[in-house]
Structure 1
Amino acid sequence: MDGVLNTQLVGNHIPGATVAVVKDGRLLFSKGYGYADIKHDKRVDAATSLFPVASVSKLFTWTAVMQLMEQHKLDLHTDVNRYLKTFHIPATYPQPITLESLLTHTAGFEDREDGWMISTPQQVQPLGTWLANHIPARVRPPGKLASYSNYGAALAGYIVEQVSGIPFDQYIETNLYQPLSMRHSTFRQPVPAQLQADLTQGYAYIDGWYRSRPPKYFQAAPAVSMYTTATDIANFMIAQLQNGRFGDQRILQDATARDMQEQHFTSDSRIPGLAYGFAVQRINGQRLLQHGGDIPSFHSSLNLLPERNVGVFVSYNSDAGSAARTSLLQAFMNHYFPVPRAPTPSPLPGFAERAGKESGIYWSLRRPYTTYEKILILLEPGITVNVINAGYGHLLINSGGGNILNVVEVAPGVYRQMGEQQQVVFQQRQDGTVMFVGNSLQSYGKMAWYDSRSFQVPLILACLLIFLSALLLWPVRLLRALRFKRSEELIKKNTVSRTAYWLAGIVCALNVIVPIYLVWTITSHKNLAAVLPVILMLGIISAILTGIVILFTAQVWRNRFWHWPQRIHYVLVGLAALAFVWELAYWNLLG
């Protein structure tokens, strides 16, 4: 651990990390590395330094659900609406969403991030209120595909709160932290006063300097808000590996814990799937139960090897920790569970035909579908990936930012990363090609040509160029005509022609303002939801005026307003405005 962690911290510009390893019911190793707070020269201590573990929090929420299930207070196969008292999940499909759907991330919710991460604890709303006001659309029937959902985990936490009759954070403290002797852990926001001094600072490495970041707070608390230490989380790993037992305490009955750790869903039988709350994975021939956690500056990973009775936890306090945790786990597995390097297979018959179907642009199935957040697909890396046929049995999977997987086909539609164990699987479905990278949660659907950035961005830019040409050229023409007293040649003296010109000009101005305002809001990290009403209003006005401009286009040609170059330009403006209305509708920015 020392060799890998110290190298990572220096080489990847990570201030600090905390790690714990358990085996056979005891803490085998724990240690802090680097700094918890650079400014105050405070080192990381595995026993006291509190790290926000983000989505690793979910494992405690899922364990709470399993506790109430074994007490017969919850049924994993019943419609969750049975447990919701103040709001209900819409019945979009005949199949209801169940707790099992939530536990396996197969509820079919779209992904949304609208307002779930906030800057101050004063902004935190009651859990039920926030959930009721932010119900995501159901975009596929339950049980069809796995798509990671923070909302689903928060909903499960709210059900724990409703059924138990006590606040969620209090339930976790009484039923998990106390029996596990986790004295330095909390879901509360803000962190209780007695733990404040042990908080770890998060950083970003920018221009050769470590820049501290303020802490974040979360509306979907059961999904993400837990702070803990490496030694505290070690106790949880021990309990899970001992099927619910920690010392003389039990958090789950033996059968319940075994059920929680069994695989209950996979999107494809050729790849690992999902247990109740855990992602199942295979590395170096070993079965792992995993969960990661990611928020700005903090990246964590919890890994259990049930058959080996081993658990590994690590958390970093800088953005480079996302890749570092994967490297650390692979180094651990290579050291303690080595396997011979597999030879590169020869190309399989029919590869060229299969690769032709599999190549293309894919986007994550975990994405916004029905809200304005869909526009972030154009701006955020990682949502789309490019699959390229590299020939001789190989595909290149490029997710941007220099992240390229070189995979080789080992069976029809099944690929293995060169030099690694990770598999990529392609599945031909009625609704198109789906790609799974590593496990069932990393799922991508092949994009239609009109969905891709290579179509969308040029179309938007072409529209903007036409709008700008009108805003620049029309006033110039008008001024020149007035200068030579020929304004009647540019705009005949009748209401129709004048109105046509002015309306088209207003449409052009609106259609330039909307994208500039939108991009400025996003890139300057302003609250997009706060300015959304303005953007939607401008979009609606533009759409209405565009319809009128299209009607005027026929008048322009029939009555031969202006010279033919001006008429052609007017038609181009009308067509660009029509295309822009389609873009607004496509990105859910129209009404």
Structure 2
Amino acid sequence: MTRLPLFRYLLSAVILLFSCVGLTNAQDDSSVESEPLPGLESFMDGLVNAQLKNSHIAGGTIGIVKDGKVLMAKGYGYADVKNRVPVSGEKTLFRPGSTSKLFTYTAVMQLAEQGKIDLNADANSYLTQFQIPDTFEKPIKVIDLLTHTAGFEEKFINMIVFDEKELVPMDQFLANGLPDRVRPVGQNSSYSNHAVAIAGLIVANVSGMSFDEYVEKNIFYPLGMNSTTFREPLPANLIDNMSNGYTYNPDTETYHQEKFEMVHMLAPAGSSSSTAADMAKFMIAHLNQGSYNGVSILQPETTAKMHSKLYSKNFGGHAMDYGFYETSYKGLDMIGHGGDLLFFHSDMYLLPEQNFGIFMSFNTADVGETRNIIITALLDEYFTQETEVPKSPADFASKVGNYVGEYQFMRHSSSDFTKSAGLLGGTLSVSPGEDNTLLIKPMGGRFAQVDDHLFVSVDLSSPDFSKITFNLDANGEADELYLLPFMHATKLGFFESPSTHQVFLIICAIAFVSILISAFRQRKKHVGVAKSQLLLPRLLAVVSGLNLFFLVFYGIAFSINYATLFAASSSAFIMIPIALTVLLVSLLVSIPLVYVTYVAWAKGEWHTRRRVAYTVVTVLVVLFLILMNYYNLIGYQY
């Protein structure tokens, strides 16, 4: 009898315990359900860490926002591999690259809403240091600088340097190296760092401050972005938090620390350094009608305008907004901007309808498909629905020939020797793909036709390449391809094609080698032959040797110095002028070669077979030099 109360007390305690456990679980479930994106951090941990491992990336940083809140600002991997310093999403600075342009566009729109910049005014009206030439009838307006439709050629000589002694003021750099205008304003969109730098210079001129100072006072400080700067070298208070940039060596499985990249000559186009936490504040401001934490950097109307369509070909593809560019994925509409330096690769995506944004940046030269994998996996996990794979109309197979061919991006040099970069790449191959699709390589993938102009991705592997469009000529054949809103490409004819030029150069190289081998083998057989007659094979041997040396030496110099051409700290500063000098000598020697070849026919020197062979090589030499001139390689065009 005396044990009954004790039993009741124990029973009551057990019931109360299980009730508390149940209450606790219920509260936990409620907490999880109230999270904007349940399980986000653990999902991203698995996803990002797997990509760092699989793609051999030293470190990365991720910032994610939704509904005005920072859901995560987290670092992964290492900012300093040697000293095992981990990346901090709050403290570690990465290089956003061209994502920096969004700050520049925001600055322009700030001054526009204040009435200090007229977007439709001639850009020259705000430029005091130099004037943009009036190459075409219509002037370049400020608004054209926001959509890459100014019509500039590409120019990247000395754009990236590693020694601060090589930095020159932006206005001086632009004045001395302004790209040529190669197409009328608004005709096409071709990505231009110089155009954005001019927009930044206009901000400086109108505001009376340096560009660096303007964005600090009007964007960074108001938003509390205390770890963000455009300044190069970095301010002393930020240096210790800067991530290193790396290249990965697969042979030794090691990371090599690279020097800090400086692009301050075109600072508004991409010189910023920032943290994931700071970039999150900027994303929230743009998603929240221009405001963050009660502070406005843009009026709601201006913010909405920045996110609206400004330029497209009106074929149903993605458009350029006011600096932002459109992308999409499985029915989700996005705006944003990517960024690439040599050793840092970044992306920002905003989904205004979902009030969501993500910024990601990685500190290793080759990141492969990491950014596409992360954004598509994240969107599939939290936002997208099952999507039916698009299919082309049944009769597309009979029309595919209208699109097939080689297309060259309009973003290339026309006036200096870097035009030769077209020989190394910069073209798209369009061909029939499997399952009645259109295949675009090396970037793009497979596409299904929607109508004569619009194609949509079948692979669904990248928001950037979810839609492409074509322009058709009067015969219904494609003559332009629009892969991205700012990357238009034109269809090439047979003789314009770099592929044709590559084949021709291979033929020339074989001929030049053959001449050298022949000269070596015949050196003893020419005893007794008149010296005047020997002049032809000897000149051919000299020219062949010079041309072969040029091809090899220039190819090596150009490829290893592509991004830092003619920076004093680059070996290209010496190598490329040497190569160009060799080609000039070849040109000079080729003049008497042509004459001696004529004499050989006039005097009947050598037997017919050998004379024909020598003549064929002479013709190849002439055509070779014509092609080199086409690529601005005759003389010192830089």
Query: Under a length normalisation based on structure 1, what TM-score does the superposition of the two structures give?
Result: 0.92
Deviation at 1:27, TM superposition (A): 1.6
Partner of 1:324: 370
Deviation at 1:452, TM superposition (A): 2.9
Partner of 1:163: 206
1:487 to 495, 513, 529: 529
Q: Does 1:243 align with 2:289?
A: yes
Listed one character per residue, the Cα deviations across residues 327-346 of structure 1 (whole Å, up to 9, x for unaligned) are 21112221222222214436
Partner of 1:386: 429
Q: Does 1:222 align with 2:265?
A: no
Q: Does 1:185 align with 2:228?
A: yes
Partner of 2:324: 278
353-362 vs 274-283, which moves further:
353-362
Alignment partners' CA distance in 2, 1:377 and 1:529: 21
Partner of 2:48: 5
2:183 to 130, 140, 159: 140
Alignment partners' CA distance in 2, 1:247 and 1:539: 62
Contact kept, 8 Å, 1:315 with 1:321, in 2: the verdict is no
Q: Does 1:415 align with 2:451?
A: no
One-letter amino acid matched to 1:440: P
**Structure 1: gaps of 5 or more residues:** none
Q: Does 1:203 align with 2:239?
A: no
Partner of 1:367: 412
Listed one character per residue, the Cα deviations across residues 59-112 of structure 1 (whole Å, up to 9, x for unaligned) are 111111111112222111122111221212121111111111110111111122
Contact kept, 8 Å, 2:519 with 2:538, in 1: the verdict is no
1:559 to 603, 607, 621: 603
Identity %: 33
Alignment partners' CA distance in 2, 1:516 and 1:36: 37
Alignment partners' CA distance in 2, 1:344 and 1:274: 25
1-10 vs 537-546, which moves further:
537-546
Deviation at 1:205, TM superposition (A): 2.2
Q: Does 1:89 align with 2:132?
A: yes
Contact kept, 8 Å, 1:535 with 1:589, in 2: the verdict is no
Three-state SS of the structure 2 residue aligned to 1:287 is: strand
One-letter amino acid matched to 2:524: L
Contact kept, 8 Å, 2:445 with 2:459, in 1: the verdict is no
Alignment partners' CA distance in 2, 1:6 and 1:545: 59
Deviation at 1:417, TM superposition (A): 1.9
Three-state SS of the structure 2 residue aligned to 1:304 is: strand
Partner of 2:16: none
Partner of 1:520: 556
**Structure 2: gaps of 5 or more residues:** 1-43, 562-569
Three-state SS of the structure 2 residue aligned to 1:487 is: coil
Contact kept, 8 Å, 1:80 with 1:98, in 2: the verdict is yes
Alignment partners' CA distance in 2, 1:530 and 1:471: 27
Q: Does 1:406 align with 2:446?
A: yes
Contact kept, 8 Å, 1:103 with 1:276, in 2: the verdict is yes
Partner of 2:219: 176
Q: Report the aligned-residue RMSD.
A: 2.2
Three-state SS of the structure 2 residue aligned to 1:118 is: coil
**What is the count of residue pairs matched by the alignment?**
575
Contact kept, 8 Å, 2:64 with 2:358, in 1: the verdict is yes
One-letter amino acid matched to 1:517: F
Alignment partners' CA distance in 2, 1:151 and 1:312: 27
Q: Does 1:49 align with 2:92?
A: yes
One-letter amino acid matched to 1:109: F
Alignment partners' CA distance in 2, 1:171 and 1:7: 40
* Cα distance change of structure 1 residues 505 and 14 upon mapping to structure 2, 3 Å threshold: closer
Deviation at 1:192, TM superposition (A): 0.8
Three-state SS of the structure 1 residue aligned to 2:222 is: coil
One-letter amino acid matched to 1:565: R
Listed one character per residue, the Cα deviations across residues 133-167 of structure 1 (whole Å, up to 9, x for unaligned) are 22112121111111111111111111111222221
Q: Does 1:315 align with 2:361?
A: yes
One-letter amino acid matched to 1:264: L
Q: Does 1:474 align with 2:516?
A: no
Deviation at 1:278, TM superposition (A): 0.3
* Cα distance change of structure 1 residues 354 and 371 upon mapping to structure 2, 3 Å threshold: farther
* Cα distance change of structure 1 residues 531 and 12 upon mapping to structure 2, 3 Å threshold: closer
99-108 vs 7-16, which moves further:
7-16
Matches within 5 A, 1:280-295: 280-295=326-341
Q: Larger radius of gyration, structure 1 or 2?
A: 2
2:167 to 103, 114, 124: 124
Alignment partners' CA distance in 1, 2:586 and 2:377: 56
* Cα distance change of structure 1 residues 320 and 457 upon mapping to structure 2, 3 Å threshold: closer
Deviation at 1:220, TM superposition (A): 1.1
Alignment partners' CA distance in 1, 2:588 and 2:155: 29
Partner of 2:304: 258
Alignment partners' CA distance in 1, 2:184 and 2:143: 13
One-letter amino acid matched to 2:633: L
Deviation at 1:229, TM superposition (A): 0.6
